[in-house]
Amino acid sequence: MSQQVEQFFDNLWNDYIKLTPSAAKVHQVLGQGREIINDHVAFRTFNLAPVRLETLAKHFEAMGYKACGDYKFEAKRLVAKHFEHDDPQLPKIFISELLVEEFSPELQDIVKQLVAQIDADAVAKPEFLYSGKHWQISSGDYERLLEESEYAAWMAAFGFRANHFTVNVNELPDFESLEQVNQTLKTAGFRLNSSGGEIKGSPDVYLEQSSTMADQTAVRFSDMEKVIPSCFYEFAKRYEVAPNKLYTGFVAASADKIFESTDARAPAE
């Protein structure tokens, strides 16, 4: 791994941990001081120039990543791709984008106004991927987006950064199963995403996933400050598709429920 690529992921992590302080506690609980291996990092965007999925992906392709899978999320009106690197130390990358034209004219107008404030030159730099938001938005517009699309509202509040990192459960020496991981986290006081069950997927689809519910953080809007869900931490256990060969893709039905980890309307437990 080049120093430049290593620095990129360090910066990405440092930006993420500022919004997701619970991730440091996850490391303490699961890692016991040892290194945690990352399965994948996920990003969100809009399907509008200059921030389309393909444009953001160029940064990873320049690092040697290759596109490996396409996904569609009908209910949330999203498409996504995942990317892999030959270097097993580097996490997979999952980028999704909102199909803006499939929403109401009001949502489209708000999102277009946000994207119009982005400097296209900024998008060409790798650090754009942890640069946050490039616009002003009112709390009222955030709430209007939230009525139609939690994903659009999250993007409006947080902009461009890792939506989540993912613990590679296969590489956790003290845990045999995702159930054990979940139980350990719950005992430590974490709240897990229970949409579609705490564990999404199964050995039958070669992937099991779970996640914490997003941390709450104060966001400054143009008119006021609000405390809203920020980012979360995911946990993935992969199964063999052939002897000594783990499944490396994603399962759309499971990822669909993982998106709800940032749901501002999720019932408190």
DSSP string, 188-252: TTPPBP-TT-SSEEEGGGTEEEEEBPPPEEEEE-SS-EEEEE--EEEEEEE-EEETTEE--S--H
19 has a pLDDT exceeding 90: yes
pLDDT at 265: 59
pLDDT at 269: 37
DSSP secondary structure code for residue 38 in this structure: E
Label residue 256 by pLDDT band (50, 70, 90).
Answer: confident
Give CA angle at 150 (135, 152), nearest 5°. 35
1 has a pLDDT exceeding 90: no
Give CA angle at 12 (40, 24), nearest 5°. 80
Q: Does 105 sit behind a cis peptide bond, omega within 30 degrees of 0 on the bond before it?
A: no
Candidates 239, 255, 242; CA nearest to 79 is 255
d(CA 199, CA 125) in angstroms, rounded, equals 37
Give CA angle at 207 (206, 213), nearest 5°. 170
What's the mean pLDDT when you consider all of the chain?
A: 93
Label residue 247 by pLDDT band (50, 70, 90).
Answer: very high
253 has a pLDDT exceeding 90: no
220 has a pLDDT exceeding 70: yes
Give CA angle at 59 (261, 55), nearest 5°. 80
Over residues 179-189, mean pLDDT: 97
d(CA 222, CA 12) in angstroms, rounded, equals 25
pLDDT at 267: 42
